[in-house]
Each structure stands twice: as structure tokens, then as C-alpha cells.
Amino acid sequence: MKYENLDVWKKSFSLSLFVYQVFNDLRDFGLKDQMCRCAVSVPSNIAEGYERYSDKERAYFLSVAKGSVGELKTQLMIAFELGYINHEQTEFALNECEVIGRMLGKLIYVIKSS
């Protein structure tokens, strides 16, 4: 299966674009850089996992992606508290993180169970 066809990859790719667009003009370069790195890490690690040969490696990279989702959620909450993003943007992004995290968890479970 091509990773580009996975719903979780598509969703995480879109979330990455959202993060880049929303924080494009943010002058807090440290937080901006960290959020963009996390956002890009999710679809990138899904892709890397699906380009590997073994299920063990695939599950590992999906797990790394899931960790990046948690990291991004925390940074989004910080950005909201600092007034860098509004409530609607925060709710959207956090909800997407939750959905992506659950999708990754299920995928990891299926791979480890096979």
C-alpha cells in the first residue's frame, strides 16, 4: 500500500499545511520552528515507515509520528495561551491531532498484531 493513499497520511499532511499557514507570520521563531517541525514530522514519519520493509520498522516510525502529534498538541495549547492563534483555529487543530493520534494508534495495533 502506498502511504499517500492512507487517510492518516492525508490528514496529517493537511494539518502540516494548516500549521505552516497559520503561523507563517509568527515572530516567535523558536515556537514557530518547533511547531512546524512537529507538524511535518507526522506525515514524514508515516511515509518513512511505509517505505521500510518490516512491520517492526513500520510500527516504530508510526509510533514516532504519534509522539509528534502529542508534542504538536502541547505546542498548539501554548500558542493559544500566548494569543498566537484564536479559539477556532486551536479547536480545529487539536481535534485533528486527536483524530490523527487515534488513527495512528489503531494502525500501530493492527501492524503489531499481525
DSSP string of 36-78, one letter each residue: HHHHHHHHHHHHHHHTSSSHHHHHHHHHHHHHHHHHHHHHHHH
Per-residue confidence (pLDDT) for residue 114, from 0 to 100: 84
* Blockwise average pLDDT, block size 10, the chain, 114 residues: 94 98 96 97 98 96 98 98 98 98 98 92
Per-residue confidence (pLDDT) for residue 1, from 0 to 100: 77
Q: Give phi and psi for 52, each to the nearest 5.
A: -85, 165
Number of domains present in the structure of the chain:
1
Per-residue confidence (pLDDT) for residue 81, from 0 to 100: 98
Per-residue confidence (pLDDT) for residue 73, from 0 to 100: 98
C-alpha span between 9 and 106 (Å, rounded): 14
Q: What CATH number is attached to the domain comprising 70? A: 1.20.1440.60
C-alpha span between 61 and 80 (Å, rounded): 29
C-alpha span between 44 and 29 (Å, rounded): 22
Range of the domain at 82: 3-113
